[in-house]
Chain A
């Protein structure tokens, strides 16, 4: 099966606010699919539904052919998820937290030790292994969440703004991990605001705006859609989300108040 993730017509409303209005996309084996969108576009809601944390009002999600609503345990077992807002058990130490995750996921102690050791070293927080999570910086907490998401060798990684708060070295390590993951037959869905990152590592990009996927494709395909062949992703993004004209207007006003 090449389709690791299938999202069909997702709809979700919070009261009167429509967060998702028919979101559909697929993530295939060997792909890094970037979900790009302005604030409040529906990226996190989409990801929460995929990971089984939130119920959609309408639409379907299939992870390796199984629905998170009908088979949530299977879906949560095959996904490695890093939430946008990393809130972990703050009074547990990093070691206790990893023990907790490894046990909940039913991992073999001997298998997991080497993997955790290498990951913790690569992300450079070995010295905080016995430190309560509360005392860690936001960036280190993010690294703890990333290692926890990678511990069980998931086939599909779902990362919501994973680079947020990471130092340059750790961001580089994460990018390399994502490349290795897809080379080994895995797939990645991640949301980000960082256009350069999406442009550099995504094999395909979906642009979500006002709860809908308004454009989808490789970088070249998106440029074609935006009719801007030489443009970078930022310009393509602003054109497709119809924000480019507003930007010109805002810039005019900004120049006036900063002159």
Chain B
């Protein structure tokens, strides 16, 4: 069959993959209703919008990067070389982060063999099915992968950069995109095989959790690096400028700094150090080889996903291990959600969010990259996000959500379990702040307000979930629909500002004494009471 026909089939499979991804983040709704299914299908366009938005971000980023480098070409010298290398590194890290994020988001559906089972019944050869698989994989990234490859070289041509720098930027973009594609599959496979499923071995489960935390931290780190790149660049530029040349030989073999360095040198910002240039060129050739062999490995991985039978873990004697544990209904629901959270990296980021924010910003603060006020504001903002994570927890049951409501569980119990879980996650974060207070003191008024805000987080999460629960269950509203609704977003922001942020801000404005603490406590208790006045919807 010719590639055009295979591409048409791949188009159908790609659409199905988008729908499967929407369904993963959709729960409970009855799919017998044609209207609901149509609404869900319309949500798949949201992913195309995200793709275009990310593509636009790459385009803007490439223009800003090229302009920044262009300004430095006039000055020249070692300082300009370091600055230009940093700007270009940020650009390539951005591409890497965006592609990884997008790939990992789809990886559950992307790496699912089930999507291709209908094709095995058709008169297609194994190699044709493999081609379809690869085409679907490429379609997931098509628009912004193309932009990632071509946008910087084109902008460099427009800004009249030397042709060698354009060619090198093109090669560097291809290497970055290939490495991103390969990493996506590796990360996707790791979390399917090593993170998603528990085993009976305690050691393996402990490693799994550590793996998950590291995974969440790396993803978070890459994103934070992008948000804070300007501050980090400002901080590290003088440090890097003054580093001994010998250390630069090591720095220049790190991906993607090596790519940025040779583009910088080809742009005319030279260091007159041919050994440095040599180090960048050699490491770039090395990464090009890694990308090439990675591509071959990727092909083998695709073959394995499609044509190998998954291993199923069996156990020997049931009688010796039948110890079933039973718990209270609420504890069971919370424990189930904790297990699902710890087996799904997207949700695990939610659980570890506060801890990661604290550790990350503490490091930056300690290194003097950010001032104390930024550090404190970040800790402040963390509280704001927790209730919104509660909405995503409503989707954690995925398709099994339809089964759960055939069991004797009330909506109140269902709701309470999610609200309590978010409160537990937030409390762990607050406990970390309390412990760290003895090591890294933060304002006591802030600490007291944050401790009391546990009640505010509980109350606002409860109201937010009640507000969204009915639509999610009865109308099949998906997470992306909720996020796209301006009205919902405004209500959410006002609610969180009022219930969480306001008490923390008030605590900063007044002196800390027993009366003010009592007022703060009263305000939080008042919010708690209000949250129980909001009626839980009937099914």
A105 touching B406 by the CB < 8 A rule? no
Rounded to whole Å, the gap between the CB of B316 and the closest CB of chain A is 7
Rounded to whole Å, the gap between the CB of B187 and the closest CB of chain A is 17
The reply to whether the CB of A51 lies closer than 8 angstroms to some CB of chain B is yes
B318 touching A53 by the CB < 8 A rule? no
In chain B, residues 300-335, which have Cβ atoms closer than 8 Å to a Cβ of chain A? 310-316, 318-319, 321-329, 331-333
B32-40, B68-76, B358-366, B380-388: which lies at the A interface?
B32-40
Given the known interface contacts A104-B332, A113-B324, the answer about A92 and B339 at a Cβ–Cβ threshold of 8 Å is: yes
A129-137, A161-169, A176-184, A217-225: which lies at the B interface?
A129-137
A53 touching B32 by the CB < 8 A rule? no
B339 touching A91 by the CB < 8 A rule? yes
In chain B, residues 7-50, which have Cβ atoms closer than 8 Å to a Cβ of chain A? 30, 32-35
Q: Which of B198, B323, B399, B406 has the most CB of A within 10 A?
A: B406
| A76 in complex: contacting residue of B198, B339, B406, CB < 8 Å | B406
Rounded to whole Å, the gap between the CB of A50 and the closest CB of chain B is 10
In chain B, residues 195-245, which have Cβ atoms closer than 8 Å to a Cβ of chain A? 196-200
Rounded to whole Å, the gap between the CB of B131 and the closest CB of chain A is 27
B326 touching A112 by the CB < 8 A rule? yes
A76 touching B407 by the CB < 8 A rule? yes
Residues in chain A near residue B310, CB distance under 8 A:
135
Q: How many residue pairs between the two chains, A and B, have CB atoms under 8 Å in the bound complex? A: 145
Residues in chain B near residue A88, CB distance under 8 A:
400, 403
Residues in chain A near residue B35, CB distance under 8 A:
14-15
B326 touching A103 by the CB < 8 A rule? yes
Bound complex: CA of A112 vs CA of B324, how far in Å? 8
B405 touching A53 by the CB < 8 A rule? yes
| A89 in complex: contacting residue of B32, B200, B400, CB < 8 Å | B400
The reply to whether the CB of B397 lies closer than 8 angstroms to some CB of chain A is yes
The reply to whether the CB of B336 lies closer than 8 angstroms to some CB of chain A is yes
The reply to whether the CB of A241 lies closer than 8 angstroms to some CB of chain B is no
Bound complex: CA of A19 vs CA of B313, how far in Å? 42
B32 touching A44 by the CB < 8 A rule? yes
Residues in chain B near residue A15, CB distance under 8 A:
33-35
The residue of chain A having its C-beta at the shortest distance from the C-beta of B317 within the complex is A126
Bound complex: CA of A90 vs CA of B310, how far in Å? 15
The residue of chain B having its C-beta at the shortest distance from the C-beta of A98 within the complex is B324
A127 touching B314 by the CB < 8 A rule? yes
Bound complex: CA of A44 vs CA of B340, how far in Å? 28
The residue of chain A having its C-beta at the shortest distance from the C-beta of B321 within the complex is A129
Residues in chain A near residue B333, CB distance under 8 A:
104
The reply to whether the CB of B344 lies closer than 8 angstroms to some CB of chain A is yes
The reply to whether the CB of A117 lies closer than 8 angstroms to some CB of chain B is yes
Bound complex: CA of A52 vs CA of B403, how far in Å? 11
Residues in chain A near residue B403, CB distance under 8 A:
83, 87-88
Residues in chain B near residue A99, CB distance under 8 A:
324-327, 332
Residues in chain B near residue A95, CB distance under 8 A:
321, 324
The reply to whether the CB of A252 lies closer than 8 angstroms to some CB of chain B is no
Bound complex: CA of A15 vs CA of B37, how far in Å? 12
B539 touching A55 by the CB < 8 A rule? yes
Given the known interface contacts A53-B30, A93-B198, A117-B318, the answer about A102 and B409 at a Cβ–Cβ threshold of 8 Å is: no
Residues in chain B near residue A121, CB distance under 8 A:
318
B326 touching A116 by the CB < 8 A rule? no
The reply to whether the CB of A100 lies closer than 8 angstroms to some CB of chain B is yes
Residues in chain B near residue A131, CB distance under 8 A:
312-315
B329 touching A103 by the CB < 8 A rule? yes
A87 touching B312 by the CB < 8 A rule? no
B407 touching A72 by the CB < 8 A rule? no
Residues in chain A near residue B336, CB distance under 8 A:
89, 92, 100
A53 touching B197 by the CB < 8 A rule? no
Q: Which of A19, A87, A112 has the most CB of B within 10 A?
A: A87
A-B contact pairs, 9 of them (CB 8 A): A53-B30, A76-B409, A83-B403, A88-B400, A88-B403, A92-B336, A101-B407, A117-B322, A120-B318
Binding site for B on A (CB under 8 A): 14-15, 17, 19, 44-45, 48, 51-55, 72-73, 76-77, 81, 83, 87-93, 95-96, 98-109, 112-113, 116-117, 120-121, 126-132, 134-136
10 closest Cβ pairs, A-B complex: A103-B332, A126-B318, A132-B197, A76-B408, A127-B314, A91-B343, A87-B399, A130-B200, A109-B326, A73-B408
